[in-house]
Amino acid sequence: MDNYHVLHPIGEGSFGKVFKGRRKFSGQIVALKFITKRGKTEKDLSNLRQEIDILRGLHHENIILMLDTFETPHEFCVVTEFGQGELFEILEDDKNLPENEVRKIAQQLVFALHYLHSNRIIHRDMKPQNILITANGTVKLCDFGFARAMSSNTIVLTSIKGTPLYMAPELVQELPYNHTADLWSLGVIIYELFVGQPPFYTNSIYTLINLIVKDPVKFPDNMNPDFKSFLKGLLNKAPQERLAWPDLLNHPFIRETSEEKLARESRTNKYLKWAGIEHPLSDSAPKKQAASVSEGSDIWQRYETMASDEAGATRLRHDAQFLDRVMSLFQMNADFRTAKDRKNNIISALRAIILIVSKAKLEDPNQDILKSAALTSGLIGLIKRCIRLDQGSPAPVLTDMVSEIVRAAGLIARATFNKSLGIEPNMVKGFIVLVPQLLYYPNGPGSNCNIDQAMTLLQVNTVKSVGIILNQAGLIPLRCIFVYTDIIETNTLHEICLLIKQGISQGVSSLHKSAIQAIQVIIHPSSGDVIPFPWKRGGRNELVDDYNANFHFFENLRQVVWKAFNQFDWLQCLVQIFNSDDEGNVTKLSVLRVLLQMMRISRDAVDVVLPHKGAMNLLYGLISNPDPVLASISLQILTHMLKQIAAYKRKNLDLEVDVGYLLESFEENCLVQESYIIAMSSACLLSEILQSGSPKHVDMIMQRLSTPASLSIIVEILTPRNNRQEEVKRIEGSGYGCLFMGFSDGIILLLQRMLAKSIANDNVREFIMGLNQSGVPALIVTLINGLNAKCEISPKGLISLLTFIHDAIYEQFRVLLQTLIHDGIIKVLASYLKESQLASIQEWPVVCGGGPSAVNLIIAQVLRIFNLPHSMQNYAKELEQFNKECADSEIITSTLNIMKFLSREHLGIAVSLLSKMIVNTDGSKPFAQQFVNAGGMNIISQYNLLAQDNPTHLLVDILSLISQLARLQRENYELIHNENIYGDLRKLIEHRESTVRSKVCNLIGNICRHSAFFYDYILEHGLIACAINCCKDPDRTTRKFACFAVGNAGFHNQKLYEHLRPCVPLLVDLLSDEEEKTRANAAGALGNLVRNSDLLCMDLIRHGALKQLLEVVRSDQAQSQSPRQVALFSIGNLCVYPQCKEEFERLNIRSVIEGYLHHKDQQVMKYATRILQKLGN
């Protein structure tokens, strides 16, 4: 601070205050930013120092220059050049600018960003407040993650403080991003300069984010085509399609004229002299002091010598002058075939670069010459020149030089890779297109190239460089689709596959090893981030959308390899490569991973491998290999083979696995953390053997693993632990971003299939006792509660777990159901039925166990579990609490909402649960009300549930449900009527299945229970006549409910009496039916037919109804007294009418009735007294 006068404050931000200052003794005006340390963690301070270091190394006329920094115990001070005003102030004052002024600002911002991005720096916070304008109109970019405004009192947007106005769609969605996020922000700023406000502008942050992600940009009519094209390119919502380098620099809107370019170069030179930079390196990293190498003819040998130790290599890595000389050397217009000195110089330069890559420390990322785009493009240009020079020559002489160039390019790509920035597409495209020619240098595939030592080395170096690039692509595959596309379209992958055969036939191990390793990183990437499993996520995941959209590219890679392999004896070659010397098992792992992918891609691959004794013995032997990854991959290969055998019923093919050893290995490795992955892979194979293995092997597995001790071991390994998904990636690969399985999937499947076998073997009781003793109920609670994005269970694993839970409860595992209820798991299971959760599973890739089929199965299994307590008498005690949990979870509403996800065959499970909840539940009104409130009646027509060809059980359930709604309250009548189900009922009442006919009759009875609302409708649709006809149905239950239907059809008024006349003789006959309830219903119906008028009295008398009713009173043997009670009541109704009284007197009614005046049944006594009162004296 002693060097500066602090003048006055000019701004204040979240990090601290900014003051205008003057350097003592010079008069230089500066900005001093004081950043307090208070409240910051050590990590915050470390990050801050890193950001200061980044800014210190930047020297560009359009980037604010850091002049000085110092640190006190309480604060940092950053001294920068002083900017006169903010771009934000221009927007405030002028609102918008003419296009020519906007273009000038756009040009300078593009140059500033190109400089930053060339040095692998992303600004991340581009906005008008971070752009300063000097007095002469020069734009200055500032605030690299910590420096707020440097020259203004107003530093935040006044309209929407702290909003993401300038943030790219990927940033507001918190998705991975790269340098193109800055380019979106640039587009928003330039748009605002011209229009007067950003393209998306609102006071609601939520709405703003929605607009940024979804809404198209609207461009004004007065924008010229080049300007509009420029903004359209920047404001592309897809980062990979955004206008970017180098196309952005050459866009017509900002492309410089020759006069502008000269003016800029003049300004740049003045600026660099002012900034004290002696040897500028345009658009690359600022330089440190040049490494000292004297000029002379042997300069490149001296550079090579200098790079051979760490100190010298490190100095060269940060030496811009060295890079300048390299680029000049690369660009010399010479025929390297004849100019041997030039060729040797280039080879020495390349070797120096290779030494720099391998030996140098990276002291300053901003001065790393290896990051220079010019260097990589220079190398590719050099390769092209060599090919041109050597093409057509019978004896190419530049092979050794090309080999060094290719090696250097690959090593630079590896040393400079930045995951957040991704792979530079121009470099990759430039190199990949040359690969086929490099593999058969110089004329390409099909030419007669001389495969000498130099050519072989070139092939090896080429394949290794391809492997480096593809290994990087495997880390970020969704952002590198262009890489995968290029290696297919250029035939690169196909040619690399064929090199395996060449390497074997020529005995060049380095060639076939590098080839198999490259193929492995292409079709079985095992590093890189993966998308978390789709649990408790909510909303769409654009990464999953991208994966689904691009999966065919990944699938094509494996298909290309398989087709190429079929051109030679690929399996014998792989076995030979595996058995060769291999340091660190790298090649062995590659062979197995490639073989695993072949098992996945083609069932024909199984037919190739199974008869091959060498390959099979190798796989069987690897099961006991001490390397856990080798052992695990071999187990997974055998598992996939067994799946293929079972799927295509190859009865004549089987595996000769040592099941005894496999069981022993499984149990041992369950208890050793370092070997969990072997236990996981063993479980996968054991579960497949249980499914399709020989009875002998199945019995061995069941006997060994069914004991409480063994089950306890399974519980132990299923207990969730950290980082085991990383182990899965080592075996199964990263799946290009979506894992094929969770760590626990195979073990859960093993447990589920063991339960299924115990059921089939009729020893399930003992097995369930073992499950209980080993703590399985508590484990299931842990697994269900722990289902989140970071868990070890994929959708496939969840389906197995739900199947296990269902089967166990079905087999009377009472403790499990009690535990699920007590620990709140019913509510958790119900949460799986939320639409947001199901949508996440549905979008999850099908190949990884997601998609509509997974959704369908998960819903079906949850609903089956919820059906069980209602279906099984043994769970009567648990039912009340179970129903309470279901009611609290609004299971009715959820079930209605998710029916759209179900297949036709599984709709019945949902309807069954709805029916059981509403029909069979004590206090079912809350469930019925949930159903009504959620618009449940709509499902009838929406899913055509009353269609005649539906399964009988579905028809019975939906008819029962509607019937219950009608029975519960009169208010539901209109809802039922609005569904217009009469036509369906008319067909169903004549259904071939008696259970359906009886349910229709019961429904008719219930819709006539509370009022005459439906009388006209059932008459109009012929349902009265059908119900009457059902009174003589051969099925006793149908007859019972038919009586109920016609009885209620006459209860409320006499409107239907005339139409009911034909049923009188049928009802009389049914008074002597074998079914007690039918007799009661018939007696009640006859009473209802005279309840409202005497229209049918004479019919009843004529058909002997009065006599038969008295007979029921006199001699019915039902213990419940129900037929007698109803008959007495109906006789009381008949006694109102004189003609009936007269008939009864003739039948000596008093002597019959008086015998019941003192009956033990109070209702009988009451109704007998009522009759005598109506008969009078």
Element at 68 (helix H, strand E): strand 66-71
Within a 10 A sphere around the Cβ of 96, how many other Cβ atoms?
A: 14
Q: What one-character-per-residue DSSP string does 879-900 give? A: HHHHHHHHHHTTHHHHHHHHGG
Backbone angles phi, psi at 30, to 5 degrees: -135, 170
Q: Are 396 and 442 in contact (CB under 8 A)?
A: yes
Q: What one-character-per-residue DSSP string does 149-215 give? A: -SS-S--S-SSSTT--TT--HHHHTT----THHHHHHHHHHHHHHHHSS-SS--S-HHHHHHHHHHP
Edge to edge, the sheet with strand 16-23 lists: 4-12, 16-23, 29-36, 75-81, 66-71
3-class secondary structure, 86: strand
Where on the phi/psi map is residue 285: left (φ > 0), alpha (ψ -120 to 50), or beta? beta
The whole-angstrom distance between residue 664's C-alpha and the CA centroid of its chain comes to 36
Q: Are 402 and 410 in contact (CB under 8 A)?
A: no
DSSP conformational letter for 862 = H
Q: Strands (DSSP E) along 1061-1111, which ranges? A: none
What gap in Å lies between CA 1171 and CA 1128, rounded to an integer? 8
Edge to edge, the sheet with strand 139-141 lists: 85-86, 131-133, 139-141
Mention every residue, 6+ apart, whose C-beta is less than 8 A from residue 904. none
In single-letter form, the type of residue at position 959 comes to L
Q: Are 83 and 137 in contact (CB under 8 A)?
A: no
Q: Are 1038 and 1003 in contact (CB under 8 A)?
A: no
Radius of gyration, alpha carbons of the chain:
42
Scanning 12-166, the segments in alpha helix (DSSP H) are 42-56, 87-94, 99-118
Tokens for 768, please give them: 């369930």
What gap in Å lies between CA 66 and CA 55, rounded to an integer? 6
3-class secondary structure, 34: strand
Tokens for 332, please give them: 């010399």
Element at 71 (helix H, strand E): strand 66-71
Where on the phi/psi map is residue 1126: left (φ > 0), alpha (ψ -120 to 50), or beta? alpha
What gap in Å lies between CA 1018 and CA 985, rounded to an integer? 10
Nearest alpha-carbon partner for 685 in 740, 631, 637:
637
Q: Between β-strands 131-133 and 85-86, what pairing exists: parallel, antiparallel or unpaired? A: antiparallel
Nearest alpha-carbon partner for 473 in 489, 485, 461:
485
Handedness of CA 116, 122, 128, 129 (dihedral sign): negative
What gap in Å lies between CA 168 and CA 153, rounded to an integer? 27
What gap in Å lies between CA 269 and CA 277, rounded to an integer? 9
Q: Facing residues of 17 across strands? A: 12, 34
What gap in Å lies between CA 329 and CA 326, rounded to an integer? 5
3-class secondary structure, 11: strand
3-class secondary structure, 715: helix
The whole-angstrom distance between residue 707's C-alpha and the CA centroid of its chain comes to 37
33 is an annotated ligand-binding site residue = yes
Backbone angles phi, psi at 119, to 5 degrees: -100, 20
Q: What one-character-per-residue DSSP string does 493-506 give? A: HHHHHHHHHHHHHH
Mark the binding-site residues for ATP, compressed into ranges.
Answer: 33
Mark the binding-site residues, compressed into ranges.
Answer: 33
